[in-house]
Structure 1
Amino acid sequence: MPRSLMTHRAPAKPPVVGTATESGPSSAAERYFNRELSWLAFNERVLAEACNREYPLLERLRFLSISGSNLDEFLTIRVAGLVGQMQRGIDNRSIDGKSPAQQLTEIRRKVEELGDIQQSTLDELRGLLAEQGIRIADIDELGKDALRGLRRYFVDELSRVLTPQAIDPAHPFPFISNLGLALLFKLRRKADNASLIEMVLVPSGIPRFVRLPDQPDLFVPVEAVIARFAYILFPGFTIRGSGVFRVLRDSDIEFEEEAEDLVRFFRSAIQRRRRGRVILLELGEGFDPDAEALLREELALSEALVTRSAGMLAIGGLGAIVDALDRPDLSFEPFTPRYPERILEHDGDVFAAIRAKDIVIQHPYESFEVVVDFLRRAAADPAVVSIKQTLYRAGNQSPVINALIAAAEAGKSVTAVVELKARFDEEQNLHWAAQLERAGIQVIYGFIDWKTHAKISMVVRREEEGFRTYCHFGTGNYHPVTTRIYTDLSYFTADPALGRDAAKLFNFVTGYVEPSRMEAIAISPLNLRERLFELIDREIEHAREGKPAMIWAKLNAMTERQVIDRLYEASQAGVVIDLVVRGNCCLRPGVPGLSENITVKSIIGRFLEHSRIWAFGNGHRLPSARAKVFITSADAMSRNLDRRVEVLVPLRNKTVHDQVLRQVLLANLLDTEQSWRLQADGSYVRMATDDEGRRFNVHTYFMKNPSLSGRGTALDSESVPTLTLRGGKRR
């Protein structure tokens, strides 16, 4: 059992620097986009990929599934928070000045609109998949042979795990878990014509779709099978009506700062999450009005969103069909990540490779195995004295965890900072913490009221010259699954200053020892915000002095008011700002007098863009060897800057600096095929080509071309196409 967290409090937050500019449009609605509506716009872009005719059919189905899962999480977290504010009478205004009630009204309208688009998209994909021999079938369309097979499956397997529950005064209304799928049946007993309502919960452990052995390309939603053969469950009754429904509950964990034992708190909080208040009741087509009234009363739906679907519920489950099929002709061409040539040139000795020169690699184009090998090598190397590691999300089958355990068993001093507040991974992280402690690893849970979101590995090695520190700084999690689909950067360095800073950061998290002076990196919530503002202000000074002034950034979200206001101020001073923001963005670009020098684009494609990069011209036009370039674990959000431990790491090695700036960041800015341009009115327009009619796909570029400093001398660097800002244009 992991030890309890001591009840130390984190250091007080430093004062926030910078003030909002008053130039340009003054009302909140004119200056900012609503965060929640912007997120829904992002999910609409994800959903649009399901309609992208250039994608293989199964990949389009996967995007449809992702849009459904995304929406479920949004409702159970973000909408749940707004509902909670309304119930408690809290009138916290959004960045654009809307009350919780106003936001919920607009969110409901948009959620219903997205639901309609999802169903029409599914109808289209069903028809196209049927042409390829894959049927997501309406059970009423099936022939006798298929129905006989489904009946046999129902009798032999499904009926054994179903439990009908009567709904009457003698039977309390059954609990329906979060994301629970269920059916209600109106019955009449043949013996005495008595009416009865029965509920059947769909067990979470059974497959979402039924497949028959002799028809493996036929998929039937399990709730349709239950509805069709429910008469077998109710002998002696006539079924007068039925309906399928789904429940989504509040899934956020409200952290209690006075919790004396963080582990015990989260174990109980995970259980409470499953019983959170209902946020959404989703009803299937033709749901009985009397049954709906019953659900509304029993589930206490006064503030909940109730939607009616004309098609399939739980769209997020469609990913199971994609995973079940082996149809290369309907999927993306397989891609195998490359292992960095630089390390192979040193006979696999990752420490020798890093000692020779800093290395940056980009996942998933370069393999995540190099990160695991970094730890495995440390575990086996007798010269390694200690390993320190942050763990935010590590996955179910984590080779990183195994490497840390191997290091402890080999006698190394190993410290693991396990973040228990990683949403939806709390239970898995509790499990890993227990495993690590049993192996003799010092497990730390960090601060009571801040999440440790920084991604750092630190290895101290005894060498001839003395102790040397090797560090890995990442923009993504140490998660073997997401590293195959998320684009992230891994930066390996033996820079002494970065090593000293990393040590201070770990001391800050494990012992609450606030660093008095950092040599290179900035840490939130201590000084990362201040460092960003200093860099932006310096560009403003360059613009006012008549020098080139430019900012490039690639982030997942841009919602923090003071960061946005600082960028507005920079735009008004003449700084040219190009942002790649994948998800929600509250900054309103291209507004005269406010942000006419700012452009924002979002990239949605085969891989999920996740790396976070800032670049500042430093008195020169980007891209420039004299630019200041940083990677970070933080997005431009209040939670990242004020309530999380994050890092901003400067790239001072020339090779690494140029590769991140001139390849990764520039390629994202040049992309057209997967890019959407944010307009001043909040709409997004798909680009397809640039202003001169040329096309560029950032994912294809990196899949086809060896990249970054992991390339090594074994590959001809001149064979990699050089990226340029076409004709020197900023766009």
Structure 2
Amino acid sequence: MNKKTSSPSELSSIPKQTGTFLNRELSQIEFNRRVLAQAEDASIPLMERLRYLCIVSSNLDEFFEVRIASQLAQNRLGGDSTALPPSLATNIDMAIAECKQIVARQYQLLNDTILPQLSANGIHLLRHQDRTEEQRAWVKDYFNREVRPLLTPIGLDPAHPFPQVVNKSLNFIVELSGKDAFGRGTGIAILKAPRVLPRVIRLPDELSKKGTSFCLLSSVIHAHIADLFTGREVIGYSQFRVTRNSDLWVDEEEVKNLRQALQSELHSRQFGFAVRLEVADKCPEHLSQFLLNQFNIDRTRLFAVDGPVNMVRLLELINSVTTPSLYFSPFTPGLSPKVHNTDLFARLDKEDVLLHHPFESFEPVVEFIRRAALDPDVVAIKQTIYRTGMNSDLMESLITAALRGKEVTVIVELMARFDEEANINWAERLERVGAQVVYGVVGLKTHAKLALVLRRNESGLRRYAHLGTGNYHPRTTKLYTDFGLLTAHPGLTSDVNEVFIHLTSLTKPKNLEYLWLAPFSLQKEIIQAIRREGAIAKQGKPARIIAKMNALLDESVIRALYAASADGVKIDLIVRGACALRPGVPGLSENIRVRSIVGRFLEHSRIYYFKNDRRHDVYLASADWMNRNLFRRVEVAFPILDSSLKKRVINEGLTPYMRDTANAWELNADGKYRRRKPRSKEGTFSAQLHLARSLGTIGSSNPLPDK
């Protein structure tokens, strides 16, 4: 045990100074550097590297739509939309400077490495100058048939004001010489690319002598933009894209029906205030300045890029190519023998079942709800829905249950960012078949992942529950690492029932025996468990905390961890994304290590482990250690009670990630991450590859990279 240098009371009163916590925005950007490193990794198949580039672009879009927009919005509420307070301006400027470095590296990697290597493998993304005469003729014909009829150029003048530009849409600014048809010298036109058109277009195979050729819609329009302005000369042009504030806001205390209010608000998301402008790097400076003025964007938030202004659209290319060698080998999740081809309710009467996704199939959870919907002995189903997607067998089963006369109660979170429309649609369908649908609690997002089934047997009603760390979403359950527990434990299921009563009736929840519930007890229980480890360490006993989550930002929890470190508790944190805790600082956090795992699957599990004088407390949760999760959301952390399942969580969810030398990054005290490398005598170890091989089946041609 390290010698204690500060007392817990001293550490709990650490002033909120710059050196105590890492910057949230810069830490979030560091995560995107780690994702970008995947795209740089030559051991990863080419199309997967391109996919990582697209993921970085998507992440940065959301960073501007939400994080940067929220900081700018705070200032706008203060009455001044232009001048920023020095501290806020500095924070934004630092974040944007880091983003520009990442974006520059993205396009360099795309143009100098990935596209040339794809071309060497027979996949050609052709610019106008790369196309043969035959290909140019085909593109011209395609433009005239499929594109031009949908285009509506707007020449700007007092009768033709600057058009509404949708968030993240593809547009063009065009500078013209000469006079228009009425003898006037209008010099600027705006052209919006219709969103119904594909962004990646495949050329006929007979025009590609070697491999398959594609071109971008932006390239097609660029090549023929002059054709749209008969009698005038195009002297300058550029594609451009505007990123807007995308946070929805409705006054939940004022509206009478949140779903109806949100439906009317969804449209406005496309036209929030502008926060970023992207143009081609050859865009004339006076045209980019014209756009900046039009959208009221500071020049520091101008991004000039060497390629398509929306790299995310290259996902269409990824989805259009079927060459196996360019992708990760197919992975088939394992089927737990405890629930495969068994009477699920009879199994749960005997024991709890733990599932580890995506290494084990999510199908048993879908089957749990499906069987409940069809079982005549089931009288009621209750479920929370945060994200579930547009197509969901699970949601269809809830509709079936309602149609069969069962009591179906669904708490649908309508404010789940970017899933609002899908959730509104499901809420409407459920209501139409007689399900009881509520939208959570005013002012809080319902983020807990819970399902409860009430089934009648010879001794009366019995409860069965599913508690999880991830969403009931058919796509993400194949891509995100999560744990789920199926149980008939009377205490756990009773607590789950109390949570549902709280959410529907709005009564104060009773004291729960097993679950930690936000916003009421979760943060308090976490801090109490951390402090308990500190007290155990001060008695000279082994004390240990291991926690895995997506983000660590709550200052009170971080201060408690600092205090525990000073008491001698050994603390390991596996934090995928943003982390404000500064590890390895003498006198503050020398007993704390922080690592991040970035691999083929998105690390999404939340696991809290406390040694607790060898009791080995293990909690799984829907909540990260962030202020919003602990106080502005309904979240649940639930204990794993069975000793064999505790070992599974530790041996699958924590221990392999502590050993990882393939996808692990370690956080330094300065906020930078360094990639962990194996010691000279040990081989490279990938936690995800280990779990994929031990719990599922993975092909051998391009498995997860194991360097």
Tell me the alpha carbon deviations over residues 94-148 of structure 1, each in whole angstroms, 9 at most, x when there is no partner. Answer: xxx9932221110111111111011111011011111101112222122211111
Give the alignment of 1:291-440 within 5 angstroms. 291-302=287-298, 305-344=301-340, 347-440=341-434
Aligned Cα root-mean-square deviation (Å): 2.1
Answer yes or no: is 1:250 the counterpart of 2:253: no
Tell me the alpha carbon deviations over residues 318-345 of structure 1, each in whole angstroms, 9 at most, x when there is no partner. Answer: 211111110111100101112221112x
1:253 Cα offset (Å) = 1.5
| Preserved contact between residue 136 and residue 220 of structure 1 (Cα < 8 Å) | yes
1:303 Cα offset (Å) = 8.0
Aligned equivalent of 1:120, options 73, 85, 108:
108
Seen in structure 2, the aligned counterparts of structure 1 residues 29 and 194 have a Cα distance that, compared at 3 Å, is same
| Preserved contact between residue 455 and residue 476 of structure 1 (Cα < 8 Å) | yes
- Where does residue 705 of structure 2 map in the other structure? none
Aligned equivalent of 2:467, options 453, 470, 473:
473
Aligned equivalent of 1:107, options 88, 92, 95:
95
Answer yes or no: is 1:499 the counterpart of 2:493: yes
Query: d(CA) in 2 for partners of 1:211 and 1:172?
Result: 35
Query: d(CA) in 2 for partners of 1:90 and 1:548?
Result: 55
Aligned equivalent of 2:224, options 220, 229, 237:
229
1:411 Cα offset (Å) = 1.5
Q: Give the AA of the match of 1:55.
A: I
- Where does residue 605 of structure 2 map in the other structure? 611
- Where does residue 72 of structure 2 map in the other structure? 83
Seen in structure 2, the aligned counterparts of structure 1 residues 376 and 49 have a Cα distance that, compared at 3 Å, is same
1:170 Cα offset (Å) = 1.6
1:445 Cα offset (Å) = 0.8
- Where does residue 684 of structure 2 map in the other structure? 695
- Greater displacement, 462-471 / 586-595: 462-471
Query: d(CA) in 2 for partners of 1:692 and 1:682?
Result: 29
- Where does residue 463 of structure 1 map in the other structure? 457
Return the TM-score normalized by structure 1.
0.90
SS in 2 for 1:122: helix
Seen in structure 2, the aligned counterparts of structure 1 residues 193 and 410 have a Cα distance that, compared at 3 Å, is closer
Aligned equivalent of 2:442, options 439, 443, 448:
448
- Where does residue 541 of structure 2 map in the other structure? 547
- Greater displacement, 71-80 / 667-676: 667-676
Q: Give the AA of the match of 1:110.
A: E
Query: d(CA) in 1 for partners of 2:248 and 2:533?
Result: 40
Q: Give the AA of the match of 1:218.
A: S
- Where does residue 130 of structure 2 map in the other structure? 141
- Where does residue 264 of structure 1 map in the other structure? 260
- Where does residue 48 of structure 1 map in the other structure? 37
Query: d(CA) in 2 for partners of 1:534 and 1:210?
Result: 57
| Structure 1 segments unaligned to the other structure (5+ residues) | 1-18, 92-96, 621-625, 712-731
- Where does residue 717 of structure 1 map in the other structure? none
SS in 2 for 1:420: coil
1:90 Cα offset (Å) = 9.0
| Preserved contact between residue 498 and residue 510 of structure 2 (Cα < 8 Å) | no
Q: Give the AA of the match of 2:620.
A: I
Q: Percent identity, please.
A: 40
Seen in structure 2, the aligned counterparts of structure 1 residues 488 and 471 have a Cα distance that, compared at 3 Å, is same
1:490 Cα offset (Å) = 1.0
| Preserved contact between residue 25 and residue 593 of structure 1 (Cα < 8 Å) | no
- Where does residue 626 of structure 2 map in the other structure? 637
| Preserved contact between residue 396 and residue 428 of structure 1 (Cα < 8 Å) | yes
Query: d(CA) in 2 for partners of 1:431 and 1:573?
Result: 52
Q: Give the AA of the match of 1:636.
A: W
Query: d(CA) in 1 for partners of 2:283 and 2:98?
Result: 22
Answer yes or no: is 1:290 the counterpart of 2:278: no
Aligned equivalent of 1:206, options 192, 197, 202:
197
| Preserved contact between residue 179 and residue 249 of structure 1 (Cα < 8 Å) | yes
| Preserved contact between residue 521 and residue 650 of structure 1 (Cα < 8 Å) | yes
Return the TM-score normalized by structure 2.
0.93
| Structure 2 segments unaligned to the other structure (5+ residues) | 1-7, 698-707
Seen in structure 2, the aligned counterparts of structure 1 residues 352 and 671 have a Cα distance that, compared at 3 Å, is same
- Where does residue 572 of structure 2 map in the other structure? 578
Answer yes or no: is 1:152 the counterpart of 2:141: yes
| Preserved contact between residue 524 and residue 646 of structure 1 (Cα < 8 Å) | yes
| Preserved contact between residue 46 and residue 327 of structure 2 (Cα < 8 Å) | yes
1:203 Cα offset (Å) = 1.4
Query: d(CA) in 2 for partners of 1:552 and 1:452?
Result: 26
Aligned equivalent of 1:274, options 270, 279, 292:
270
Number of residues paired by the alignment? 679
Query: d(CA) in 2 for partners of 1:429 and 1:27?
Result: 39
Query: d(CA) in 2 for partners of 1:181 and 1:600?
Result: 40
| Preserved contact between residue 356 and residue 483 of structure 2 (Cα < 8 Å) | yes
Query: d(CA) in 1 for partners of 2:687 and 2:643?
Result: 23
